[in-house]
Structure 1
Amino acid sequence: MNFLNQRTELIKGVAIGVGVCVVGYVAYKKNEDAVNSFLNNHGFNIESGNNTDFYSMSLEKLMETKETIEDIIAEKDLNGVTIVSTEA
């Protein structure tokens, strides 16, 4: 009987933990820009991948980004991903 009670408490604790994580994630995603800005102002380097301003990046950061993109292209090329140009 004691084992069943401990197991029930464990399951309840896991469910509460998952619920808290989901609520925290949803709250973060709704306020992502504000949270990232706050963290950046307090010494944490949080990069936003969707709003990249290449003109304000340092040359070193631009070169790192270029190398990352070239690595991704090479990896996709090796895996047989077809690249279709959208230019006229």
Structure 2
Amino acid sequence: MMMRNRAGLVKGIAIGVGVCAAGYLIYKQNEEAVNAFLNNHGFNIESDKGTDYYSMSLEKLMETKEVIEDIIAEKDLTGITMVSTEEV
């Protein structure tokens, strides 16, 4: 009896993983259309296909700046070494 339940559980997990993978692939193939649909229905889905900072509003730029500063502070506290790409 226990082996039968375990086999059903494994089968359910495998089906779930397969459905999730198929859904993800379908979403990625139609990402722009799905994001546009969701944006039109009140969900704020941002595309990460290269950010154009010049077209962003000042408010959005300030939010982005704060997020970046928070990430830098977190990494500084955890001891992650910052590497500069600037020429000296």
TM-score (norm 1): 0.76
Q: Which residue is equivalent to 1:73?
A: 72
The structural deviation recorded for 1:50 is 3.7
Distance 2:65 2:83 in 1: 20
Q: Which amino acid aligns with 1:74?
A: A
Distance 2:80 2:4 in 1: 53
Q: Which residue is equivalent to 1:16?
A: 15
SS at match of 1:44: coil
Give aligned-pair identity as a percent. 72
TM-score (norm 2): 0.76
Q: Which amino acid aligns with 1:20?
A: V
Q: 68-77 or 36-45: which moved more?
A: 36-45
The structural deviation recorded for 1:66 is 0.5
Q: 8-17 or 22-31: which moved more?
A: 8-17
Distance 2:49 2:83 in 1: 22
Count residues in correspondence. Answer: 87
Q: Which amino acid aligns with 1:70?
A: E
Q: Deviations 1:55-85 (Å, cap 9, x if unpaired)?
A: 2222111111101100101111112222222
The structural deviation recorded for 1:38 is 2.3
CA pair 9-66 structure 1, distance change in 2 beyond 3 A: same
Q: 66-75 or 41-50: which moved more?
A: 41-50
The structural deviation recorded for 1:18 is 1.6
The structural deviation recorded for 1:7 is 4.2
The structural deviation recorded for 1:5 is 4.3
The structural deviation recorded for 1:22 is 0.9
